Amino acid sequence: MISLGLLVLRVGLGLTVSAHGAQKLFGWYGGSRIAGFSAHLDRMGLIPATFWAWIAALSEFVGGLLVALGLLGPLGCFAVMGAMSMAIWLVHWPKGFFNTKGGIEFPLMIWVGALALSVTGPGDISLDSLVGLHLPEPAAWIVGAIGLALGVGAGLGSRSLRADRRGRLPAA
* 80, 55 Cβ separation under 8 angstroms: no
* 12, 70 Cβ separation under 8 angstroms: no
Residue-level pLDDT at 165: 63
The DSSP output letter for 171 is P
- For 64-123, how does the pLDDT look when each residue is reduced to its tens digit (9 = 90+)? 999 999 999 999 999 999 999 999 999 999 999 999 999 999 999 999 999 999 999 999
pTM beyond 0.85: yes
Measured from the Cβ of residue 141, the count of other Cβ atoms closer than 10 Å reads 19
* 13, 117 Cβ separation under 8 angstroms: yes
> Which band of pLDDT confidence, cut at 50, 70 and 90, is reported for residue 161?
confident
> Which band of pLDDT confidence, cut at 50, 70 and 90, is reported for residue 13?
very high
Cis previous bond, 107, omega within 30:
no
Rounded-to-integer distance, Cα 139 and Cα 137, Å: 5
Rounded-to-integer distance, Cα 101 and Cα 67, Å: 28
Per-domain boundaries in the chain: 6-166
Does the pLDDT at position 149 exceed 90? yes
